[in-house]
């Protein structure tokens, strides 16, 4: 894979990620703008994640039938238009539709990039390459979160909309063809018959469910429980992405050096510690440290799992790449939705406590669950 190709792929990831986390941080402002409750505006999170997860299932098999470049061009164009629609939304329902389309077309990026890395990067360098790609995505998310505390929320959609159109021109001009010599074929049933594939995606389902069930509600938690303003809320959530940039890079290197599973175990430990710390009434500077630890924990886990996926047999790479995004976002959307109900009835501290306990149980179960896919 050439440097130019990799840079273009990283820029696609950056456009995709710019407002993903920022949208959750902006829920209080968006709700106020349209005169709805923050819990109603929370639909903006899962109405993006669930379509994303379902659509991601298509892109791996489609990459066997169509040139990956053509798929990228098609999806990037309509993803950019969906951002522009969100930016000009005249009511909350239009914004809901825009977010749905963002999920449908944005779901193409990560599966296709993982397929290209699996097929065009040698095994010993995959962890580092994946780490750099996701670090670029987290850096973009960081920028979006930072700006969400300064500019009007509509600008958070205008920026990737316009930049996406400009990037589309460069992708059309400079991204090479990646046509695979085979027809459209779906191997999901065959993939799940492999115990290694089933084990990995069982783990991904539960870790994503728990992560997004907490992450997507931090902004509302800080607003309702600490009465913080939008700028402070955005800066706190920004720290999860700031630490995520370094977490992806170091996590990728650690996955290559110390092993995929060891990296994931460290990630789980950091996530549990940060959730436990949220039980206490803390000043903003302590909350900042907690958000940094949380972001590092998630990205260590993410880098380790993503590297583990690229180690699967080549016949499962396309399905694994699509399932990675699909399972993460479907379970993440379900986690955000379930958390909404749990928080309404029992409050934030009970929700965080249940999530931390579930992460501990998942960590204990993971060593046995992933025993057959353990790699050096």
Contact yes or no for 236/278 (Cβ under 8 A): no
pLDDT recorded at residue 53: 82
Range of the domain at 253: 3-373
As to burial, measured by CB atoms within 10 angstroms (0-12 exposed, 13-18 middle, 19+ buried), residue 281 is exposed
Position 333 scores a pLDDT of 79
pLDDT at res. 183: 57
pLDDT at 371: 63
The owner of tokens 């469910």 is: 209
Cβ atoms within 10 Å, residue 154: 16
pLDDT at 375: 46
Determine the pLDDT at residue 197.
79
Return the structure tokens found at 209.
């469910």
Q: What angle do CA 231, 354, 203 make, to 5 degrees?
A: 95
Residues 6+ apart with CB under 8 A from 362: 203, 206, 207, 210, 268
Please give the pLDDT value at position 291: 92
Output the domain CATH number for residue 74.
1.20.1250.20
What is the model's pLDDT at position 19? 87
139: tokens are 């850096």
- Residue 180: per-residue pLDDT: 61
What pLDDT is attached to residue 249?
77
**Domain count for the chain:** 1
Whole-number Å distance between alpha carbons of 330 and 345: 23
In the chain the first and final C-alpha atoms are separated, in Å, by 25
Regions of the chain with pLDDT less than 70: 1, 123, 180-187, 310, 371-376
Q: CA–CA separation, 264 vs 100, rounded Å?
A: 31
């Amino acid at each position: 894979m050439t440097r130019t190709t990799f840079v273009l792929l990283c820029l696609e990831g950056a456009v995709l990620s710019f407002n993903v986390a920022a949208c959750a941080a902006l829920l209080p402002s968006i709700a106020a703008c349209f005169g709805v409750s923050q819990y109603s505006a929370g639909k903006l999170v899962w109405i993006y994640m669930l379509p994303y997860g379902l659509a991601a299932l298509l892109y791996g098999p489609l990459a066997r039938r169509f040139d990956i470049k053509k798929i990228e061009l098609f999806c990037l164009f309509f993803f950019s238009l969906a951002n522009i629609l969100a930016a000009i939304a005249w009511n909350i329902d239009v914004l809901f539709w825009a977010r749905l389309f963002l999920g449908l077309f944005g779901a193409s990026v990560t599966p296709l990039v993982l397929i290209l890395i699996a097929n065009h990067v040698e095994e010993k360098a995959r962890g580092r390459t994946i780490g750099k790609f996701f670090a670029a995505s987290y850096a973009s998310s960081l920028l979006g979160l930072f700006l969400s505390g300064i500019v009007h929320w509509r600008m958070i959609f205008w920026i990737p909309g316009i930049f996406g159109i400009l990037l589309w021109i460069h992708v059309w001009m400079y991204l090479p063809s990646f046509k695979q010599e085979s027809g459209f074929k779906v191997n999901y049933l065959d993939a799940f018959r492999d115990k290694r594939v089933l084990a990995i995606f069982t783990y991904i389902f539960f870790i994503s469910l728990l992560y997004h069930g907490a992450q997507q509600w931090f902004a509302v938690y800080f607003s309702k429980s600490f009465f913080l303003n939008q700028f402070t809320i955005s800066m706190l959530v920004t720290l999860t992405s700031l630490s995520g940039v370094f977490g992806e890079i170091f996590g990728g290197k650690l996955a290559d050096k110390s092993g995929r599973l060891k990296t994931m175990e460290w990630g789980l430990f950091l996530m549990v510690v940060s959730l436990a710390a949220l039980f206490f009434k803390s000043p903003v500077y302590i909350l900042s440290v907690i958000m940094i630890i949380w972001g590092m924990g998630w990205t260590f886990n993410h880098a380790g799992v993503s590297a583990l996926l690229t180690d699967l047999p080549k016949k499962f790479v396309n399905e694994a790449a699509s399932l990675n995004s699909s399972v993460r976002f479907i379970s993440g959307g379900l986690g955000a939705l379930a958390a909404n109900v749990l928080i309404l009835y029992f409050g934030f501290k009970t929700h965080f406590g249940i999530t931390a306990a579930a992460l501990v149980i998942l960590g204990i179960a993971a060593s046995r669950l992933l025993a057959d896919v353990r790699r050096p």
